Amino acid sequence: MTIPLLEVQDLQTVFHTEEGAWPAVSDIDIRLEAGEILGLVGESGSGKSVTGFSIFGMIDAPGEVTQGKVLFKGQDLRELSAESMRKLRGDRIAMIFQDPLMTLNPVLRIEEQMLEAIDAHQKLPKAQALQRCVEALAMVGIPAPEKRLRSYPHEFSGGMRQRVAIAIAMLNRPDLIICDEPTTALDVTIQGQILYRMQQICQAQGTALIWITHDLGVIAELADRVAVMYGGRIVETGTVAEVLDAPRHPYTQGLLNSLPAQATPGERLTQINGMAPSLSGRVPGCAFAPRCSRAIPRCVDEQPPVTTIPGRAFRCFVPLEAPAA
């Protein structure tokens, strides 16, 4: 059996405050094969972005990754030196953010930024590097790429800037791209274009994706597998069909039910009462217990262990019924 591209084991990231170290995410287990698209779904405060940053090695004080392994092609990224990690980033693993201006320097031309991204990882003759840049821009659907190389980020619209950010991310043909809500701020038709491009790239290059979002619809259409996060833990994972058609965790069910698209127009939506807890406001047990209609007293005090069936996992003392075989 080949080792998976990415295997995260028991990852925990905390944030240090005056009162103590609050765990932002705990017990994170992820398994990703080459070329697979994993959707990491959750609302604000679920820890999905922190997970992405932790894998990418970008957690800074007052945050700290305190436990676990991040095995990339068998090698634990947490054990690597800062220099080795820097070599991996942008080359084998890349990241895209919600705001493309987090990737793009507003005062440099696109050409400079792209050449810099290549140059940091390999020495190519300029002509060859430029050729690769043009190909990357064409691949994300930027018209007239040779000319647009000389543009500045502000000369692009929001959707095109995000495409440029994607082009930079895939310049060195990474094995894994972590995408943190890249289309959340974009219009629906532009989002469709970007999803189309990402799908093309992943199929053409065999790139694996971790797509972090709160939009279940995007995950349904794009991803192979999905992991649902709440209160800093992954509460359910499985293939997209398994999780969305037959969820086992009450939160996943609640989330699906509260989508207007799933409800009858004009009728009250089935809402989940209350709000997600803050870092310091969680209970020792299942973070969802205070809002869960199925909760029993045990749920608040004890952390439910993971129930694993091959390829499928969830954390719940009172899970929903399994679908009839």
Residues at the interface with other proteins (CB under 8 A) = 14, 16-23, 43-44, 61-62, 64, 66, 157-160, 187-193, 195-196, 199, 214-218, 220-222, 224, 240-241, 244, 254-256, 258-263, 265-266, 268-277, 280-284, 290-291, 300
Comparing CB distances to other proteins, the nearer of 18 and 321 is 18
Residue 54: CB minimum distance to other proteins, A: 16
Residue 170 vs 243, nearer CB to other proteins = 243
The CB density around residue 275, as the number of other CB atoms within 10 Å, is 12
Smallest distance, other proteins to C-beta of residue 119, A = 30
Are the beta carbons of 306 and 315 closer than 8 angstroms? yes
Prior bond of 153 cis (ω within 30°): no
Nearer Cβ to other proteins (18/127): 18
Q: Which is nearer to other proteins, 72 or 211 (CB)?
A: 211
Residues 6+ apart with CB under 8 A from 247: 236, 253, 256, 320
**CB nearer to other proteins: pick between 74 and 297:** 297
DSSP E strands in the chain: the ranges are: 6-16, 21-32, 37-41, 63-72, 75-76, 93-96, 176-180, 208-213, 225-230, 233-239, 306-309, 312-315
Cα separation, 166 vs 170, in Å, equals 6
Q: To the nearest whole angstrom, how small is the minimum distance from the Cβ of residue 77 to other proteins?
A: 19
Closest CA to 247 of 260, 230, 232, 264: 230
CA distance 161 to 233: 32
Measured from the CB atom, is 117 or 223 closer to other proteins?
223
What interhelical angle do 158-169 and 188-205 show, nearest 10? 10
Provide, rounded to whole angstroms, the least separation between the CB of residue 192 and other proteins.
4
